[in-house]
Amino acid sequence: MTKGKRRIGVMGGTFDPIHYGHLVAAAEAAEEFRLEQVVFVPAGQPPHKRPETVTDARHRFLMTVLATVANDVFVVSRVDIDRPGPSYTVDTLTELQRLYGPETELYFITGADAMSQILQWKDGESLFEMCHFIAATRPGYSLMTFKKALGPVAQKFKDRIHPLQVPALAISSSDIRHRIRQGRSARYLLPDPVWHYIMKNGLYR
């Protein structure tokens, strides 16, 4: 943490759909790292997923807005959705740093599973020069898996990598999609307006 700089969280994810695990992770990160704001950034085209397996960005964006509207600290950005091509995190961070200015320190928050692949992301290692990383872990997740995947980089950038245990991340988007496909309820795993949006638009059937 650099003294005098404002700290902004960048919550990156596909959010297909957004659920309470994401919201709790963002709130915990904001409290623990004294973040002034958490910007939720739904990925436009997640670089590692086939486009036909991901719900239309318009739906994912609107669900993210519905889920975050009641919290003053949370905002939603369209930077990834409006940028054509794959949503590389290096481009997300460059754009947000430009928007927020050099006196802002960015904290990228995402799942530890996603982050353990970071060395395969575009510009991999150099991302650690751009911001801090908060790796949200599910119950039972072993940090050794994460450290092994990052190898010597984990030690080199240990001051920039912050694991964060989030028990509510027992909830997962893939489980919610699976439940709905099977005709089961997921109603209490995500905010009511998001549940109603999913039902109204027939998503995940």
Q: Which residues bind ligand NAP (CB under 6 A)?
A: 11-14, 21-22, 25, 43, 46-48, 87-89, 109-111, 113-114, 121-122, 136, 169, 172-174
Closest residue by Cα to residue 161 from 120, 95, 115, 92: 115
Q: Which is nearer to ligand NAP, 26 or 105 (CB)?
A: 26
147 Cβ contact list (under 8 Å, min separation 6): 154
Q: Which is nearer to ligand NAP, 98 or 122 (CB)?
A: 122
Residue whose C-beta lies closest to ligand NAP: 111
| Burial of 86: CB neighbours in 10 Å, binned 0-12, 13-18, 19+ | middle
Q: Which is nearer to ligand NAP, 13 or 191 (CB)?
A: 13
Q: Which is nearer to ligand NAP, 2 or 174 (CB)?
A: 174
Return d(Cα 184, Cα 56) in angstroms, integer. 22
Q: Which is nearer to ligand NAP, 14 or 68 (CB)?
A: 14
The first and second tokens of residue 77, run together, are 């950005």
Return d(Cα 23, Cα 119) in angstroms, integer. 26
On whether the CB atoms of residues 192 and 164 are closer than 8 A, the answer is no
CB of 89 to ligand NAP, least distance (A): 4
CB of 70 to ligand NAP, least distance (A): 18
Task: For residue 181, give the 3-state DSSP assignment.
Answer: helix
CB of 11 to ligand NAP, least distance (A): 5
CB of 124 to ligand NAP, least distance (A): 8
Q: Which is nearer to ligand NAP, 175 or 201 (CB)?
A: 175
Return d(Cα 76, Cα 10) in angstroms, integer. 10
Return d(Cα 75, Cα 77) in angstroms, integer. 7
CB of 34 to ligand NAP, least distance (A): 19
CB of 158 to ligand NAP, least distance (A): 21
Query: Backbone phi, then psi, for 94, in 5-degree steps?
Result: -60, -45
